[in-house]
Structure 1
Amino acid sequence: MAVTTTLCILSCHNFQAEVNAAIAAEGWHDVVACGFPARCGRPPISWDELRSLLPDNCSQVVLLGRACLNTLGAPPAGFPPVRIERQEQCFHLVAGRTLVDEAISSGAYLITSTWLADWPAQLRALGFEPAQAGEFFNDFARELVLLDTGLDPQTTTHLASLQKELNLPTRRIAVGLDYLRLLLSRIVLDWRLEQVQRNSCQQNRRHIAELADYVAAMDLLTRLAKTQTESDTINTIEELFQMLFAPAALHYLRIENDIQVPCSSIPAPMLDALHALSGEYAWTPDGNGFLLRISHGEERLGLIVVDHLAFPAYRQRYLNMALAVTGICGLAIANARNRRRLMEAEKMASLSILVAGVAHEINTPLGVGLTATSTLQEQSRQLAERFSAHSMTQTDLAHYLDTAETSTALIRQDLERIAHLIDTFRQVAVEGKPLDTRSFRLRACTEEVIRSLGDRLPAQQVAVHIDCDPELEIDSTPGDWVSIFTNLINNSLRHGFKNQERGTINMQISRDEKNLLRVDYRDDGAGIAPEVLSRIFDPFFTTDLQQGMGLGMHLVYNLVTHRMGGLIRCESRPGKGVLFHIEIPLG
């Protein structure tokens, strides 16, 4: 509800009738006039005397006068704001300066209708009985001039009586209320303008405060949309509700599969109220807060208590605001749960792929080894039978020994292959492998990899160019970089240069101004088809089942992204070679 404000105009009693008439003529319902005694400062007017005249809802005071205001100091504490309109002559309130000054200069004694209406009392206030005042007035005044505002119909009668008593000529000047109305209009207009400016400033301050709240709320809603886990989402929801409603108590009850899981200790009465909540919301038992249901579709996701609001009078407004954001809160929680389920499903799918790949890779050498073992076992049984029957010949023994040598060699080869597969799987699991970092020069590491490949990288067929500062040192795990360069070069040899007599590999390695290590590995091989390029870092994906397991590039990807916190991307087109771009942040 708007607060009613009133402008109070105080003038001496001799002008109060005119001020009231001007206010009525203008139709100002929020302006009132009050009159203080017309003593012309003898004795002076006091602030306490003026305070007693003010109405209760007075918001500003305007003082009109001259001598009566001379001794007033600053208003006391608690007094409404004061504006003093001091006049050179009191009569300037109803008539123009020129008219008043000329009349006074010509020896006129100026009077108003209100003064004239009670002229005997006015003369006594000056210290004269009416019968004795004539001599005094004749000494300094040449005439009596009435500034007639037209308010008193008995003016002619009163003026004639006064003229008879004082024996002075009289004259009437019709001034009306126009001059006073113009003066008061300016004062009231200034007051209204100040009100508008003050209200505007207050409104601007409220708007700025509300805008700050809205910005903070939007920031929290943005954070809410970016949360990844349900716990982070709930924490952000609680922070949002704390910021919007400033409750003394805030509780959240998580619900999943109709099972209620309190996120914090909830008082028993409030927990009972939550259990009884059947709709979208309800008021708390004491009425100073509210309960809300957070849901997505038909699924209940949680219940929240906002209790002991800082401003309970605005509880309906707060409730409406809370209901407006519960949909977003429910969506954020549902997204967090769906994200968790998707991650669990992806983990299970990845595990299934990994297990199937491991089983497939190990099953082949294991099956060959089992076959060789069965053959050796059967040959041993047959030889034992011939030995028992005294029918074994030298040829039988020689044949058995040949078979045993072949079978054991095959078994050993398959066991070594299984051991190699297990070691490769262990390398792929880089997250669980302990770090052994040290400072080393990357170019020397790269050259060592090239030397270790030996005959598999014949210089006359494959040219390798390394553009790297020999002094470039990094703090990392040398074995990881050996694995990265070895697998990149093997990928070029097995796939890029498979049907080529010659090939070229270019490696450009540098550290930039952002302390990023950049590695560009290029070859001019056969390139990669789009359908293969999209899966090049997938585990167990290979286009050459005879030569590899499909783990080499997956190992490179894991080392670069998981171990080193970097990124790797591959660019290629059929017939245009391949580019692997690697960026690693160097701490």
Structure 2
Amino acid sequence: MMRNKKARHCLLVCKNFEKEIVAAVKLEGLTDIDVIPFPVFCQLAFGKRCWPDDFLAKLSREYERIEVIGGGCLRAITRAKEETTMKNIVFHEQGQCFYPLIGKTLTDHYLQQGAYLLSSGWLDHWQTHLQQLGFDGSGIREFFAESCTKLVLIDTAVSVKSGEKLRQMAEWIDRPFEIIPIGLDFIRLFVSRIVTARFSEESLTYRREERGKLEQQAADYAMALDVVGTWTQLSEEAVVVENIMRLFHQLFGAATIRFLLLNDADTLIYTLNSDETIVTKIVPHLLEIPAEYEWINGDDGFRMRIGEKENTIGSIELGQFDFPQYRQYYFNLALNLGKVCSMAIAIARAYKKNRDLNEALQNSVFQLEEQSQELFLANQNLAVVNGDLESFSYSVSHDLCAPLRNMDVFTQILLERYAPKLDEKGAYYLLRVQACSQKMGVLIRDMLTLSRVGRTALNLREVNLSEIVEALLRELQESEPERSISLCVQEGLFVKGDPALLRIMLQNLLGNAWKFSAKNPNAMIAFGQTEINGKLAFFIRDNGAGFDMTLADKLFAPFQRLHAAADYPGTGIGLATALRVIRRHGGEIWAVAALEEGATFYFHLGAN
């Protein structure tokens, strides 16, 4: 601050708080007081001298009174204090340097939370202060990570750039931050108390009157915050907005009061006392306001952001005050009300979302009850159908299979006993009848297996697929011991599933591989596990006949055959059965093949 030749008193303060003290002195109308900063040295070694030895002596000769204001840093200049015999110098050492700004209770509250308190003046040179701590980039982050939980800016509104600098510092040291808008009322009371203690009785009376005004303003704060507190109990956003506007009209003598409110999609939903032209200009700008406020119209008014942290939900604009001399007071009061306005609107919106969710939940419950009833009826119908299917299966098993077995037996008897009496054609016909009856029996058996696979309850347990595959391949080798074939089975492959159904599935897949590789003199069958598209899948591979991939969509359909029955006999039910088993386990199966180059069947089983 420039020195005033007419000044009789001097406030010697830390550079970090110079702006606040200057603003407080100006608002108090203390035209005969100079504010002189001393260097910041709270980051320097304890007890280090930061001003020349004759610094206080020179000031003592220039001013009638010198008030030195500081926190713990003043303990670092005890030598200067001891050497000072000038009676016109008084040291006001505070326990913490933020006590004059927000008081002891609030300061201690944030410090107990592990907060690192910052002022606008400190943030003006935050990079320099961090360098003075003597750490490199990673070291400073570790220091703050261990020593504080968050950064807290005590925002007195003396610098509109403080918020942005706080964000830059928070990003650099990787710490969360918070902005506490408190205005200048407390520091004004502090300065007033120091100065009035040394003024004449006439001046003291004047200061008491001014202090009475400040106390009245504090009462206004209490009344406003009490009223705003009731908003948080309201449920409808429109009611909250109406109460906000009513209170602002009561508290602020302003010709211009504009209230803009955005929804979650940044779309304007309220415009009170704003014409369309102004709104069109303000809304895009509002979403980019770097600080909690901005002065407008040549500092005649201000616009305050409504929202939490980075989330802007609106703004309140005040201007053209009936009593412009109270503009700073209006500003401080508005800043304090702003956060509660944000909270009240947020609670109203949360209440609406809750109500909508409850209504949606009730509708869902009603729909679920209806669907449950429909499912109950469907399950009853399904039980009837399953009962009919069980009866049909029993009928097929006994009523159809028994005659087929009789046909097979009697045909065999005819062939054995009456073969000499039959000519060659007659014997051929009997053999055809026997083969057809046997084929029909196999088909019925496979159809019953397919039906049971879809209806059998799953008996889930840990299953060793490798052991099942080895056992099935041994059975196939025993059925055709003359075949020369190379077998490869990966050991130790386990899944969770139904052992009986998994055996049926593997029996069909391995039977296919065995059958379609029969014509290859260097036949090979392999079983193992691999990773496909980030998922583990089992595979059964052969180097047999393969198939045309353009026909792959028919592969797992019942009774669909991709090869002639004369070349490769079968019922066409095996792969359909394997598909049903795998689907019962929540899995998938697919195949990759080429004609005369073999085929590979891949499958996985749900969560396995």
What TM-score do the two structures reach when normalised by structure 2? 0.35
What TM-score do the two structures reach when normalised by structure 1? 0.36
> Is the radius of gyration larger for structure 1 or structure 2?
1
